[in-house]
Structure 1
């Protein structure tokens, strides 16, 4: 039943794919790599690696990797230790791109993460923020 819920949630995320603005395949892939690498760093409790994917505004706000990791651990458990995650649509929001990521958290609850992605002067993509929205459960 869990696989069905994940699949239904993933289809819901992909529903607006046709309305996405023109984003290069290279940028789309780079954004997915950054989010995936940060989640992998969280899974390994690698604060320095996780912090390296944060945009300058996030780095300035938290000051160091350990404070950042502690915040994510306590406030964003579905991002910190997802059972699984699926990429959804990528849309333009003002000067950033917003990457939707469907998550199944450590407690089995579905959530939607809205990653604000910032393109840096050196050409890299960094995570400028993440809003977590509890998704309605598809299970009976």
Structure 2
């Protein structure tokens, strides 16, 4: 009879452990891209993007140009701190990142990631939200 509680605990702990490893892997992908952007390493930053993103921007130079122009707080910042993450129904991860841009403005970046056909996590999108009370 004592085996049941231990077995139940293992069954219940299994999904949480998988979720934690998925979140850690997703953070690693975001960190690789963030570090690559800080070095202007367009190819490594581009490699972290999902195929659908790479289809929109067919080479690394176009991709980094888009990030530089449309995601400036991600491209250049004073701080980049991982926050909460959650699993999504589409078998992906949403990871929040607190960013302070190069001008001292606070942002939240909401990254979405999915596991690619090759088993690697890739970034499918990033939504930037300016902190309340900041000017446009």
The question of a shared fold, defined as TM-score above 0.5 by the shorter chain, is answered with yes
Higher RCO by CA contacts (8 Å cutoff, separation 6 or greater): 1
SS of match in other structure, 1:83: strand
Matching of residue 118 in structure 1 with residue 114 in structure 2: yes
Q: TM-score, normalised by structure 2?
A: 0.80
Q: Which runs of 4 or more aligned residues in structure 1 lie more than 4 Å from their structure 2 counterparts after TM superposition?
A: none
**1: CA distance between counterparts of 2:48 and 2:98?**
19
2:66 corresponds to which residue? 71
| Alpha-carbon distance, 1:122 to partner | 2.0
Could you list the per-position Cα deviations for residues 106-126 of structure 1 after superposition, in whole angstroms to 9, with x for gaps in the alignment? 111000001010111222100
**2: CA distance between counterparts of 1:82 and 1:126?**
22
More deviation in 67-76 or 129-138?
A: 129-138
Pairwise mapping of residues 96-135 of structure 1 onto structure 2 (< 5 A)?
Answer: 96-135=92-131
The number of equivalent residue pairs is 118
Q: TM-score, normalised by structure 1?
A: 0.78
1:49 corresponds to which residue? 44
| Alpha-carbon distance, 1:137 to partner | 5.6
- Structure 2 stretches of 5 or more lacking a match? 1-14
- Structure 1 stretches of 5 or more lacking a match? 1-20
* Coordinate RMSD, CA, aligned: 1.7
**1: CA distance between counterparts of 2:121 and 2:77?**
22
Could you list the per-position Cα deviations for residues 22-54 of structure 1 after superposition, in whole angstroms to 9, with x for gaps in the alignment? 453221211111101101100001100100000
